[in-house]
Amino acid sequence: MDTTEFFSTEKISKILFKLAPPVMLAQLIQALYNIVDSLFIGRYSDSGLTALSIIYPIQLLMIALAVGTGVGINTIMAAKLGEGKKDKAGEYAGVGTPLAIVLWFLFAAICWFAMPAYARMSTSSEAVICDIVSYGRIVCVFSFGLFLESIWTKILQASGDMKTPMFAQIMGAVTNIIIDPLLIFGMFGLPEMGIAGAAVATVAGQIVAAAIVARKGFRKSPAKELYPGYIARIFRLGLPNILMQSAYTFYIFGLNLILAGFCDQAVTALGLYYKWQTFFFIPLGAMQTCIVPVISFNYAARNIDRCKKTLSTSVSFGLVLMAVGMLCFVFIPSQMLRVFTSDALVVEIGSIGFRFIGLSFLPLVTSLIFPVFFQAVGSSLKSSLLTIIRTVTLFVPLGFLFSRFGLNWFWLTFPVTELITSAVGMLYYRRFLAKDYVRTKKAYSAG
């Protein structure tokens, strides 16, 4: 079954069950990058663990640019394939590699010079500042592997190839896991590099992953005169994803600053939540990745019922899977925290925080999937607004407000934010259903 027939006629649940498991497995392995770094660094030094929590927003910003640009290419390619324009899809794919190189160079240059100032904004501890600069400069300056792999992966996924990116990410993560302890602790005659060793292991894994997807993901560049228009459209469609991921950078940075007003252990506790969050959000992340080409394809093909069915099916799967994460955060938070640290204050603060945050997991499903849905149907403004409402309008202001009542109340920020965002997303979706285009188009089988 070719891509056109697969996206247009196959049962939606079968499409997601076919596409999602490889993505979930790849993201599971990918999550081990941060988790393994934290495991080993947590045993190497307390300052290193705090540094990883502070540098995390910068890594999210880097991923936002790389993956968001890839999503823009992925969305256009899926739409062109849905219209039967295979050559046009190939031209957009050909823009990806040069665009990735330019984005990497700009990001690396800015981060090299800005890293010391960012570190001093986040903490007054000289040991932590030193670790932030050391780790941050390495992972940013040598991030070309991440940018190239992200673009090539999205090109392959738009064509229905989920196995090659999965294998690439697995091998990249395995590389990171093997090298991490060797360079951090200086094993088998290698130099003891501490947190810098963790950074080297991370970029080595990214380069390995990029090398694997390069053969199938690299496409011939189109004519140079096509670049301005193509790049503009790529960023128009990829901007919601870039904004969504970039906003995470700013709201986590804002939350870190609020928590730093209490103690460094509170910042560390929030950082450890994001380590575990990455692991438990894998099913939801897979749904987000898989529904974009399916919805975009069927919307372009004027098959509206399949768009709606894809949304409802992905939300149902997400709710079931995220319920597992909620139970873990609510009932075993201290055990989860002790995996990374033996600091009693971090465990005490984090246990309370994890329970509050766990309550946000179910409404979070719709608050994150709605922006992806609107992005896929071309409503980039609604997608961007939902992201801005969640990360700019709600998270940091509510965090500041609740923190005025004490550290324990701060954690209420998470469930309140997700509930409000989901409510606004539902309102936008009801308006989408009322559009003439949606109400009058006859669909194929809804799957």
pLDDT for 23-33, tens place per residue? 676 667 666 76
Task: Give me the percent of the chain exceeding a pLDDT of 70.
Answer: 92
Angstrom distances, CA of residue 49 to CA of 37, 43, 274, 358, 367 = 9, 9, 13, 23, 30
Res 443: pLDDT: 44
Angstrom distances, CA of residue 84 to CA of 3, 77, 78, 444 = 11, 10, 10, 17
Res 263: pLDDT: 86
Summarize the confidence of residues 110-124 as an average pLDDT.
90
Instruction: Compute φ and ψ for 342, nearest 5 degrees.
Output: -110, 5
pLDDT confidence band for 114 (50 / 70 / 90)? very high
Distance CA 72, CA 90 (A): 14
Evaluate whether 336 touches 354 at the Cβ level (below 8 Å): yes
User: For the segment 69-102, what is each residue's pLDDT rounded down to a tens digit?
Assistant: 888 888 888 777 777 778 888 888 888 889 999 9
Distance CA 253, CA 276 (A): 18
Q: Is pLDDT above 60 for 442?
A: no
Distance CA 139, CA 141 (A): 6
The amino acid occupying position 3 is: T
Q: Is 11 helix (H, G, I), strand (E, B) or coil?
A: coil
User: For the segment 187-237, what is each residue's pLDDT rounded down to a tens digit?
Assistant: 888 889 988 999 999 999 999 999 999 988 888 878 888 888 888 888 887
Instruction: Name the residue with higher pLDDT: 36 or 323.
Output: 323
Distance CA 83, CA 399 (A): 45
Evaluate whether 135 touches 119 at the Cβ level (below 8 Å): no
Backbone region of residue 186 per phi and psi (left: phi > 0; alpha: psi in -120 to 50; beta: other values)? left
Residue (of 33, 240, 54, 279) closest to 145 by Cα position:
33
Instruction: Compute φ and ψ for 170, nearest 5 degrees.
Output: -65, -50
Summarize the confidence of residues 408-420 as an average pLDDT.
96
> CB atoms < 10 A from the CB of 118, how many?
18
Evaluate whether 195 touches 131 at the Cβ level (below 8 Å): yes
Residue identified by tokens 């089988």 is: 445
Res 446: pLDDT: 42
Handedness of CA 101, 106, 112, 115 (dihedral sign): negative
Q: Is 224 helix (H, G, I), strand (E, B) or coil?
A: helix
The contacts of residue 135 (CB under 8 Å, 6+ apart) are 48, 51, 52, 55, 195, 196, 198, 199
Evaluate whether 141 touches 97 at the Cβ level (below 8 Å): no
Task: Give me the percent of the chain exceeding a pLDDT of 90.
Answer: 33
Res 96: pLDDT: 86
Res 23: pLDDT: 66
User: For the segment 128-182, what is each residue's pLDDT rounded down to a tens digit?
Assistant: 899 999 999 999 999 999 999 989 988 888 877 778 888 888 888 889 889 989 9
Tokens of 411: 């954690």
Res 63: pLDDT: 85
Res 78: pLDDT: 79
Residue (of 67, 145, 71) closest to 108 by Cα position:
145
Of the listed ranges 123-127, 313-317, 434-438, the one predicted with least confidence: 434-438
Res 3: pLDDT: 59
